[in-house]
């Protein structure tokens, strides 16, 4: 058992739920004419960021559908806000978050090098779930009709971030039709990229949860035994300096800590998990009860080793130095 496990307090901002992909498991994506489809304006986002500061958060997690600009109606919404691309808009949101006192972590789907260069100075870290290296594109499968879920394209995005020395979060999604061998292949691919570029700070081992109204609503989630095996594989395959993260609102974290998990991800005291809104975040006190005798240690959205290397964005330098203690964790 580890001496401690880490977590981060964040504000979860779902900038838009418009997306070019149609993943079979996703309950987040909306069509433009759905009543709850949105592109959040700045006036809605600022109060969320301010509430996060009051609640002691350090991270502003910006997430949105991938390449929503491919949807005509969305481009009109974006133009009405005064922007031509989502990356341009999110860059402005990152600046606002920094001014308020939060460190941005942007989970933007696939980005190319030019887009990463725009966001790097304004973020403590960025993220993109690999999900799997398996091709799950048959009808009614997880990635049918999903241009952005080509494994080669996602691996290329991870490599592009590595070349730019961006502290990065990635992960696999367990139970979407992949095999154990696929999980091993996915983890090995991540490990190989990290060994070359050294920028993968954490790998999420996330369990698929069926959502009502989705093509995969009838599928069963992975068993606890499957998740224990997946976490154990991750810990054995990934380099020691890469944290294995699990979601404490989706599965018993103590069980997986015993198998090699060392991080519990971001939990929000003020916003829901917009990807799994039915699964409430635990409070910090509840989280401590869940992990029993294992101690919790709060971190920032950038891990200590990358603070020491100075790999964070130039615009967040002062904020990182203010929020981090001498070991690179959250200053108390």
Q: Which pLDDT belongs to residue 22?
A: 87
Q: Which pLDDT belongs to residue 144?
A: 72
Can you give the residue range of the structural domain that contains 9? 4-323
Cα 208 versus chain centre, distance: 15
Opening angle at CA 305, ends 189 and 269, nearest 5? 90
Q: Which pLDDT belongs to residue 143?
A: 76
In a domain, 240, yes or no: yes
In a domain, 328, yes or no: no
In a domain, 332, yes or no: no
> Distance (Å, rounded) from C-alpha 26 to C-alpha 1?
34
Q: Which pLDDT belongs to residue 141?
A: 66
Residue 261: count other Cβ atoms within 10 Å of its Cβ. Answer: 29
The DSSP output letter for 143 is T
Query: Which residues lie closer than 8 Å to 285 by C-beta, 6 or more apart?
Result: none
How do the pLDDT tens digits run along the chain, 332 residues long? Answer: 888 999 999 999 999 999 998 888 888 889 999 999 999 999 999 999 999 999 999 999 999 988 899 999 999 999 999 999 999 999 999 999 999 999 999 998 899 999 999 999 999 999 999 999 998 764 456 777 787 788 999 999 999 999 999 999 999 999 999 999 999 999 999 999 999 999 999 999 999 999 998 888 989 999 999 999 999 999 999 999 999 999 999 999 999 999 999 999 999 999 988 888 888 999 999 999 999 999 999 999 999 999 999 999 999 999 999 999 999 999 98
Classify residue 118 as exposed, middle or buried by CB count within 10 Å of its CB (0-12, 13-18, 19+). Answer: middle
Q: Which pLDDT belongs to residue 138?
A: 47
- Give the residue from 321, 271, 280, 323 showing the smallest Cα distance to 298: 323
Which residues, in sequence order, are bridge partners of residue 295? 4
In a domain, 329, yes or no: no
In a domain, 282, yes or no: yes
Q: Which pLDDT belongs to residue 291?
A: 96
In a domain, 94, yes or no: yes
> Distance (Å, rounded) from C-alpha 93 to C-alpha 46?
9
Q: Which pLDDT belongs to residue 140?
A: 53
In a domain, 123, yes or no: yes
Task: Output the domain CATH number for residue 150.
Answer: 3.20.20.70
Classify residue 80 as exposed, middle or buried by CB count within 10 Å of its CB (0-12, 13-18, 19+). Answer: exposed
Count structural domains, the chain. Answer: 1
The helices-and-strands tally (H runs, E runs) of the chain is 11, 9
User: DSSP H helical segments within 82-150, as ranges?
Assistant: 86-100, 113-119
Q: Which pLDDT belongs to residue 256?
A: 97
Give the SS3 label for residue 243. Answer: strand
In a domain, 331, yes or no: no
Write out the two tokens for 311.
């790999």
Helix (H) or strand (E) holding 207: strand 200-207
């Amino acid at each position: 058992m580890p001496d401690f496990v880490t977590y981060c307090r964040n504000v979860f901002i779902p900038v838009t739920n418009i997306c070019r992909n149609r993943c079979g498991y996703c309950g987040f994506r909306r069509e433009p004419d759905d009543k709850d489809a949105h592109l959040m304006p700045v006036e809605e986002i600022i109060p969320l960021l301010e509430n996060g500061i009051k609640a002691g958060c350090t991270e502003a997690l910006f997430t949105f559908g991938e390449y929503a600009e491919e949807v005509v109606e969305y481009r009109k919404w974006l133009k009405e806000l005064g922007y031509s691309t989502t990356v341009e808009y999110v860059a402005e949101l990152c600046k606002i978050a920094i001014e308020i006192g939060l460190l941005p972590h942007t989970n933007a789907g696939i980005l190319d090098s030019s887009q990463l260069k725009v966001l790097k100075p304004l973020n403590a870290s960025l993220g993109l779930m690999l999900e799997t290296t398996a091709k799950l594109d048959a009808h009614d499968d997880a990635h049918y009709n999903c241009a952005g879920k080509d494994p080669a394209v996602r691996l290329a995005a991870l490599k592009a971030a590595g070349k730019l020395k961006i502290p990065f979060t990635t992960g696999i999604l367990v139970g979407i039709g992949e095999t154990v061998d696929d999980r091993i292949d996915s983890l090995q691919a991540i490990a190989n990229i990290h060994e070359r570029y050294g920028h993968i700070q954490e790998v999420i081992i996330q369990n698929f949860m069926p959502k009502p109204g989705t093509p995969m609503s009838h599928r069963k989630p992975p068993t606890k035994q499957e998740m224990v095996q997946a976490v154990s594989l991750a810990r054995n395959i990934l380099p020691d300096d890469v944290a294995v993260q699990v979601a404490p609102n989706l599965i018993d974290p103590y069980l997986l800590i015993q198998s090699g998990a060392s991080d519990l991800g971001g939990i929000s005291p003020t916003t829901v998990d917009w990807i799994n809104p039915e699964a409430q975040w635990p409070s910090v006190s509840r989280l401590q009860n869940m992990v029993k005798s294992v101690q919790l240690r709060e971190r920032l959205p950038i891990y200590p080793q990358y603070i020491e290397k100075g790999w964070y964005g130039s615009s967040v330098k002062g904020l990182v130095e203010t929020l981090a203690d001498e070991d690179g964790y959250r200053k108390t």
